[in-house]
Amino acid sequence: MANRTLSLIWMVCFSLLVGVAVVKAKAKAHFEGFEGFEGEDDDIEDLTIDPASLRSPPLSNPTPLSHQPPPSDLPNPPPPPAAPATTFDFWDDDEFEGVPLQHLPPPADPKPDNATAPPAPPPAASAPRSFTVEILCGSFLVMFAVNYFTGKRENENIALSWAAQFAAKESIFDKNFSLLGIGDGGEDSPLLLKEGQTTFKFYASGRRFCQGLLATLELKSRHDLIARLYNMVVPCRDEISFEVYMNDDAMDHVVFALAKKKAAKAMHKDVRDLQRFANVLSPPTSRKWVVDDLSVISESKEVASDFITDAVIDQVFGEKAFEKFGKGLISLHFSDQHPGVHKKVLLFKFALPAAKNMADMSRLVALVPYYIDLIGRYKLSSQARSKTEAARQKAAQEAQKELRNAQQEAMQRRKAEKKKMMEEAEAKLSAEAIRKREAKERARQMKKAMPRMKMARGA
């Protein structure tokens, strides 16, 4: 009985040992997949995965881990047959239970090795560079240079044409003056003095009644392209002016002017001697007179009648002659009260014609020696002379009065400036210096106020 009981105990112990061994064997078989996965890590890193063969692994119906039935002692069913060989042979469904299925888009087929790249688009053709500004600037410079030399030559031709017509041998100035041009008057002495591209001067001397004559040619700025374009819009003309400096004893009290009406009005308003001594005269009815386009300004009717002679009217300023010979007249101005260095001056101003038509102004130029002789011999009547002397005395008194007023104004201005400087100097002084200065000033005033006493020495 005791032996049977001992045998039963040994059988139960053996059965328990076998059961424990079976459970351990099942647990070991259940985790074999993890052990094999860990061992193949190094091999997997070396594998090259083809993107085309990537697929989502099939997942079984996931069940929550909390509802997983406990493992039983029954042996596990045999594993399902292996799926077709893929690159995810190491996928384990039990390890990734509960992961939602994601469908990745199939990757684009890789380009074949022998495929050629598409040709690059040709670069956009750049627009051709415009040289309009450079061309315009270059053209302007070329035109400016060409115009400079042509305009310069044109002005010189006009001046030389005038000199050849009126200052050459046997010309009007050669017959009326003994010395022409600058220098010693020899044959090689130049007749014209060029002071600029538009200014030429001519000098003559050696004649009775006058000290000399200075002619100034003021021509258009033909050498300047911009000025030439401006003159197309605002026309101007070439001019010549004659200044005759009369001797002091060869000219009586005369103030006279002749010009076109618009210019005469401006002259009477602006020129000082005409404004002070002369008036615009109305044409007389008893004799021939200048054309209606001209206006006469004179100190007296006697002077105007004596200066506008019948010969002058018939040759230049008459109705018939003016349109042909006198249209170049700008103004005549004769005065013994001319403001400037020379008091007794005859002024002639004419418009210059073209170089080829220089002879058209011959009668106007002939007025210069004509009026030199006429005014040099002219004497006023006693009645007219008394009036002119009274007017000049009055003008002299007014001039002296104006001079005194100007001197007083200048003196007051200097005093004001001196006072201002003293005030500025006092403002910079200290209080002690001011007190000393005031004390000194009081002492000076007291000394000045004290009566002066004379002392006599006894014998």
Decide: helix, strand or coil at residue 81: coil
Tell me what pLDDT residue 10 has: 58
Q: Are residues 295 and 233 in the same domain?
A: yes
Encoded tokens for 429: 């002084």
Quote the domain boundaries for residue 385: 381-414
Tell me what pLDDT residue 127 has: 63
Domain presence at residue 311: yes
b/e map 245-265, b = 16+ CB within 10 Å: bbeeebbbbbbbbbbeeebbe
Q: Are residues 263 and 387 in the same domain?
A: no
Tell me what pLDDT residue 102 has: 52
Tell me what pLDDT residue 362 has: 92
Q: What is the CA radius of gyration of the chain?
A: 63
Tell me what pLDDT residue 73 has: 47
**HSE-up of residue 453 (Cα within 13 Å, Cβ side):** 3
Q: Are residues 398 and 293 in the same domain?
A: no
Residue by residue, DSSP assigns 296-329 as EEES-HHHHHHHS-HHHIIIIISHHHIIIIITTE
Domain presence at residue 81: no
Q: Which residues pair with 200 in a beta bridge?
A: 194, 217
Tell me what pLDDT residue 392 has: 86
Tell me what pLDDT residue 235 has: 87
- pLDDT tens digits in sequence order for the chain, 459 residues long: 445 544 555 565 566 666 656 555 555 544 444 444 444 444 444 444 454 444 444 444 444 444 444 444 444 555 555 544 444 455 555 555 555 555 545 555 555 555 565 666 666 556 677 788 888 898 889 998 999 999 999 999 999 999 999 988 889 999 999 999 877 666 667 889 999 899 999 999 999 999 999 999 999 999 988 988 898 898 889 999 999 999 988 888 999 999 999 999 999 999 988 988 889 998 888 888 999 889 999 988 889 999 999 999 999 998 888 988 888 999 999 999 888 888 899 999 999 999 899 999 999 999 999 999 999 999 988 888 888 888 888 888 888 888 899 999 999 999 999 888 888 877 777 777 778 878 888 888 887 777 766 666 655
Domain presence at residue 439: no
Domain presence at residue 347: yes
Q: Are residues 266 and 396 in the same domain?
A: no
Q: Are residues 166 and 243 in the same domain?
A: yes
Q: Are residues 277 and 404 in the same domain?
A: no
Q: Which residues pair with 258 in a beta bridge?
A: 296, 332
b/e map 295-304, b = 16+ CB within 10 Å: bbbbbbebbb
Number of domains in the chain: 2
Q: Are residues 397 and 352 in the same domain?
A: no
Q: Regarding beta strands 255-260 and 210-218, do their DSSP bridges make them parallel or antiparallel, or are they unpaired?
A: unpaired
Of residues 361, 368, 378, the one with CA closest to residue 204: 368
Tell me what pLDDT residue 122 has: 64
pTM value > 0.85? no
Q: Are residues 405 and 350 in the same domain?
A: no
Tell me what pLDDT residue 255 has: 92
Q: Are residues 279 and 365 in the same domain?
A: yes
CB 217 within 8 A of CB 238: yes
Q: Are residues 234 and 329 in the same domain?
A: yes
Tell me what pLDDT residue 285 has: 84
Domain presence at residue 391: yes
Q: Which residues contact 161 (CB under 8 A, 6 or more apart)?
A: 355, 356, 358
